[in-house]
């Protein structure tokens, strides 16, 4: 595998982990920025991999392994986001119920 390809793969992994950390920290805008950077790098990496004259079979296998790793890693991050969304929806629903109950209480004592 070429040094360039190896560095690109390492950078994609780094961006993926940083994006997941941004999710954990509820920094969705940072997560989005990191995922955009990762996507741009993945496009460049794919172009490099498709250049058969430059790339070895081992590099192609590393690229496939990277894509599989991303699928697994992203699945965990998506689960975190889904859980966070559900928690937020539950809190919002409870807040709406509390607000309604408070209005009813106030209306009965006017």
Measured between alpha carbons, how far is 36 from 54 in angstroms, rounded to an integer? Answer: 26
Are 39 and 67 within 8 A, CB to CB?
A: no
For residue 77, pLDDT beyond 60: yes
Instruction: Print the domain residue range for 14.
Output: 3-108
Query: How many domains are contained in the chain?
Result: 1
Mean pLDDT score across all residues of the chain: 87
Task: Give, to the nearest 10 degrees, the angle between helix 57-108 and helix 3-24.
Answer: 10
Position 42 scores a pLDDT of 95
Residue among 23, 18, 10 at smallest CA distance from 34? 18
- The verdict on pTM exceeding 0.75 is no
Are 60 and 49 within 8 A, CB to CB?
A: yes
Over residues 13-46, the pLDDT tens digits come to 999 999 989 988 888 899 999 999 999 999 999 9
For residue 55, pLDDT beyond 80: no
């Amino acid at each position: 595998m070429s040094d360039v390809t190896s560095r690109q793969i390492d950078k994609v992994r780094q961006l993926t982990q940083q994006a997941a950390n941004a999710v954990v920290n509820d920094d969705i805008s940072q997560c989005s920025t990191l995922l955009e950077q990762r996507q741009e790098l993945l496009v460049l990496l794919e172009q490099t991999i498709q250049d058969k004259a430059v790339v070895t079979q081992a590099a192609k296998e590393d690229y496939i392994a990277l894509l599989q790793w991303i699928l697994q890693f992203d699945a965990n991050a998506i689960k975190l986001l889904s859980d966070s969304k559900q928690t937020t929806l539950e809190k919002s629903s409870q807040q709406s119920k509390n607000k309604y109950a408070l209005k009813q209480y106030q209306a009965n004592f006017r």
